[in-house]
Amino acid sequence: MSEVVIKVENLSKQYRLGEVGTGTLKDDFKRWRYRMMGKEDPFLKIGEVNDRTSKSTLDYVWALRDINFEVKKGEVLGIIGRNGAGKSTLLKILSRTTGPTIGSLKMKGRIASLLEVGTGFHGELSGRENIFLNGAIMGMSKAEVRNKFDEIVAFAGVEKYIDTPVKRYSSGMYVRLAFGVAAHLDPDILIIDEVLAVGDVEFQKKAISKIQNVSKGEGKTVLFVSHNMSSIRNLCSTGILLDNGTIIFSGSSSDTVSKYIQLNTTVTNSNLDTRVDREGSGELRFTKVRLLNTAGIESDIFTQGEDVTVELEYEVLDPDFNFSGGHFSVNLFDTQDNHLFCHQSSLDGSSLSNEKIVNNKKVCFVLKGFPFKAGEYKLSCDLVNSGLYVDALENIISFNIIEGNIYKHIRPISAGMVAVQGDWLI
């Protein structure tokens, strides 16, 4: 059985809201004087609020409450949740930069953390000096850091600026060097908070490859926080979902992401019966639209490469009308109103008849393996007969697509608008 390297039991963190005393009479007087002069409080601090949707009436708030989990050696744990759910607070406690209010935390091994861009860096020191400084903080000897120095600099790509103070680095250079230090100085536990959100595509590929090598190749433990669900699915073996400071789900990374998407799904008003902006002769009219995922659950969030089912309900106002020869259409648009495709029921050989139309009262279109890049999209629908609209509605529903790995590659390709399927013969 794998060795447990992180064990968290009944961990809770409480913060005080509002103005907190500075701790000295001198600084309290300075704060009062600045306020009297109409200046900003020099000691202003903002506490993390647990539930961002409601205003607290208390002086204290629990940012984390009764957190329990274990992480085994070599495991990559993904931690996800909405902003304010407690992810960063949890990582700060695990990184020993702050302590829990209640509970216990047991960790085995050397810890390296990258919680923010350039965590632990001193702006006045050069890149070279910061590498050795971080190594010393982790308890490494100068010789150990020197052995890894060239590898870190090559990874960060800052050879030309290695003796320049890091305060003059761009944010991309800063995070590349910070990640290089955290990942290469032989940590037993690597803690990463949203580092892949900064930097170019080349850096992201190198960072992902390094995380995989650290966990699988070297048997190190990684805790990874990201809002990129594709990265969580591809990199992590397990996951936990935080909401308002508590763990509401834990399991495989795929199941955790699915639960997150399910909880954050907001089904829009799908009732089309009240729409007055429709066009057509009116013998039939659409009354409701639903979007279903591969599990048959109504949703407005889907993963790139996933099947999306568009379910259209309608009512027939004139059952004697001749619908044969007509066709249903579904049209997809992006947020800039670019028309991405039109798919008609006649394209797959389906033919309409009065019996089908009158009896079914519903038509479905399955969009196979959604091929477009992550973003927001909207649908329009219509029924055409003899070249004329019977009923047509624009913007009947909108939905979001998040990144998903539809290739065998390590991550989805972000270039271009469409992710096409194909085979290479090499």
Note the pLDDT tens digit of each residue in 191-222.
888 766 555 667 777 777 777 787 777 788 98
How confident is the model at residue 315, as a pLDDT? 94
10, containing H or E segment: strand 4-16
Angle ∠(36,42,47) on CA atoms, nearest 5? 115
| 78 CB neighbour count, 10 Å cutoff | 25
pLDDT score, position 382: 95
Q: Provide block-wise average pLDDT over 10 residues at a time, the chain (426 residues).
A: 84 75 73 78 51 53 90 91 88 87 88 70 88 82 89 87 90 82 82 69 75 79 84 86 92 88 69 90 94 88 89 93 90 90 87 86 91 88 92 92 68 64 67
pLDDT of 188:
87
Take residue 265 and report the two structure tokens written for it. 């799904």
pLDDT of res. 117: 57
Model pTM above 0.85: no
Q: Which residues contact 389 (CB under 8 A, 6 or more apart)?
A: 279, 280, 281, 382, 383
The pLDDT score that the predictor gives to residue 269 is 60
Name the DSSP letter for residue 289. Answer: E
pLDDT (0 to 100) of residue 46: 42
Q: What are the sequence ranges of the domains in the chain? A: 4-11+67-263, 284-402
In sequence order, what are the beta bridge partners of 76? 222
Q: Which helix (H) or strand (E) holds 144?
A: helix 142-156
| The pLDDT of residue 47 | 40
Count other C-beta atoms under 10 Å from residue 325's C-beta. 13
CATH (residue range 284-402) = 2.70.50.60
Tokens of residue 363, six digits? 């038509």
Distance between CA atoms of residues 292 and 310, nearest Å: 7
pLDDT of 61: 82
Classified by CATH at the fold level, domain 4-11+67-263 comes out as Rossmann fold (3.40.50)
Chain Cα centroid distance, residue 71: 21
**Per-residue confidence (pLDDT) for residue 303, from 0 to 100:** 85
| Contact present, 350 and 391 (Cβ < 8 Å) | no
For 376, counting Cβ atoms within 10 Å of its Cβ (0-12 exposed, 13-18 middle, 19+ buried), the class is exposed
Reading the block at residue 233, the tokens are 């699915």
